[in-house]
Amino acid sequence: MTDRAPRLTPLVASLPATVPFVGPETQERAMGRPFLARLGANESVFGPAPEAIEAMRRAAAAVWKYGDAQNHELRAALAGKHGLAMENILVGTGIDGLLGNLVRLLVTEGTPVVTSDGAYPTFNYHVGGFGGVLHKVPYRDDAEDPQALVARAAEVDAPLIYLSNPDNPMGSWHDAGTIRAMIASLPSGAVLCLDEAYGEFAPEGTLAKIDVGNPQVIHMRTFSKAYGMAGARIGYAIGHADLIAAFDRVRDHFGVNRIAQEGALAALGATGWLAHVLEQVAHARARIARIARDHGLTPLPSATNFVTIDCGRDGDYARAVLKELVARGIFVRMPFVAPQDRCIRISAGTGPELDAFEAALGPALGAAQ
């Protein structure tokens, strides 16, 4: 390094130069061709509601203006949807952006943070970026282990615990009673971040009732999945008014763009389209499961818009299967940590996309042997 190089902080200089996920566009550029089927990022290929598209089209003409820094209309609509006060609602740049700000509020160098080994890696990325120390507990029966997370948090005196329900990457879920028991046993001073990105897809009785009087829990939801607006980068958090207000100290106040705000507002009202998407996802999950079983693989139960498929061997074999699917133009992903890395993960797709996946799977399995 020369004396003209940027003087990175010691913390930043110590971090690996990496990102949690390699995007499909990056892979397409490396291959020199597009994917036939984009089934790896858990996006909603069924798209946003027509009402949301039209609202965003109209908003584009006013994009010379900054978006409302308070996200007032959208927060009011979300408050109405959940029967809460606006002071309990925070809108941000997707759950990823909200996670970054939550970590910034609670974590500094050396702070212990508890999560599951193999859970959503973007959370870990933010914790590392602020110098936190991750304490991980293993999955149990292919699901996150709420009581083990609580026990570890008590052991290390962690101010932050992360749990996704339903879970990514396994598609598993806990019922609301299990989550309520977890909340009741939280150590004093610990905040539970409940990532509920896939909540719209979950069976009834999965999502715990929101109690904004409890300052130890923050719920996070998104417009990226069921509402089909991943590219708009917009999500929201629900929590105690004091915790929500604390985000004003660190958030990018004009970070949520005007087009995304208008699209999300319209999407909330398009309940018929949401029902249509949920139906399409259910059909796609069932077909993915059939395709897996037809090839001697085991689909895991899913409360999300993807199906995790057990390839029946170890992580090296599953990585070989994934590599062969990518070589055949099928973009998929997989869990990163053993023993869950014996699986691959397939997002709900259209009929033609699942046709392409079905045609590629047999040859990919053969080549991976």
- Domain boundary, last residue among 242, 270, 298: 270
pLDDT of residue 282: 98
Does residue 1 lie within any of the structural domains?
Answer: no
Q: Which band of pLDDT confidence, cut at 50, 70 and 90, is reported for residue 20?
A: confident
How does pLDDT run across 305-359, given as a tens digit for each residue?
A: 999 999 999 999 999 999 999 999 999 999 999 999 999 999 999 999 999 999 9
How does pLDDT run across 129-150, given as a tens digit for each residue?
A: 999 999 999 999 999 999 999 9
Q: Which band of pLDDT confidence, cut at 50, 70 and 90, is reported for residue 19?
A: confident
Do 169 and 31 share a domain, yes or no? no
Residue type, 351: G
Cα separation of 258 and 66, whole Å? 7
- Domain boundary, last residue among 229, 244, 270: 270
Would you state the structure tokens that stand for residue 337, as one six-digit string? 């940590």
Do 30 and 179 share a domain, yes or no? no
Does residue 5 lie within any of the structural domains?
Answer: no
Percent of the chain with pLDDT over 70: 99
Does residue 73 lie within any of the structural domains?
Answer: yes
Does residue 2 lie within any of the structural domains?
Answer: no
Do 258 and 180 share a domain, yes or no? yes
Q: Which band of pLDDT confidence, cut at 50, 70 and 90, is reported for residue 5?
A: confident
pLDDT of residue 247: 98
- Domain boundary, last residue among 250, 270, 290: 270
Do 174 and 254 share a domain, yes or no? yes
Do 98 and 29 share a domain, yes or no? no
Does residue 4 lie within any of the structural domains?
Answer: no
**CATH number of the structural domain spanning residue 18:** 3.90.1150.10
Cα separation of 134 and 237, whole Å? 23
The residue among 346, 16, 53, 315 whose CA lies nearest residue 171 is: 346
Do 127 and 259 share a domain, yes or no? yes
94 touches 222 (CB < 8 A): yes
Mean pLDDT of all residues in 83-102: 98
pLDDT of residue 2: 62
Give the HSE-up count for residue 269: Cα atoms under 13 Å, Cβ half-sphere. Answer: 14
How many separate domains does the chain show? 2
Domain that holds residue 203: 50-270
Mean pLDDT of all residues in 292-311: 98
Does residue 118 lie within any of the structural domains?
Answer: yes
Do 38 and 82 share a domain, yes or no? no
Cα separation of 158 and 254, whole Å? 31
Is residue 339 reached through a cis peptide bond, with omega within 30 degrees of 0 on the bond before it?
yes
Do 183 and 285 share a domain, yes or no? no
Q: Angle 187-94-251 (CA atoms, 0-180°, nearest 5)?
A: 70
Q: What is the CA radius of gyration of the chain?
A: 21
Sequence-distant (≥ 6) Cβ neighbours of residue 286 within 8 angstroms? none
Query: Counting beta carbons within 10 angstroms of the beta carbon of residue 262, is it exposed (0 to 12), middle (13 to 18) or buried (19 or more)?
Result: buried
Do 244 and 364 share a domain, yes or no? no
Do 344 and 228 share a domain, yes or no? no
Cα separation of 253 and 69, whole Å? 5
- For the entire predicted model, the pTM comes to 0.96
Helix axes 351-368, 315-327, angle to 10 degrees: 130
Does residue 339 lie within any of the structural domains?
Answer: yes
How does pLDDT run across 171-210, given as a tens digit for each residue?
A: 999 999 999 999 999 999 999 999 999 999 999 999 999 9
The residue among 86, 82, 89, 71 whose CA lies nearest residue 239 is: 89
pLDDT of residue 1: 54
Helix axes 94-106, 121-129, angle to 10 degrees: 40
Q: If you search the block for the tokens 């978006």, which residue do you land on?
A: 67
Does residue 243 lie within any of the structural domains?
Answer: yes
pLDDT of residue 307: 98
**CATH number of the structural domain spanning residue 199:** 3.40.640.10
Residue type, 114: V
Do 227 and 291 share a domain, yes or no? no
**Backbone φ, ψ for residue 22 (5° rounding):** -90, 120
Do 199 and 117 share a domain, yes or no? yes
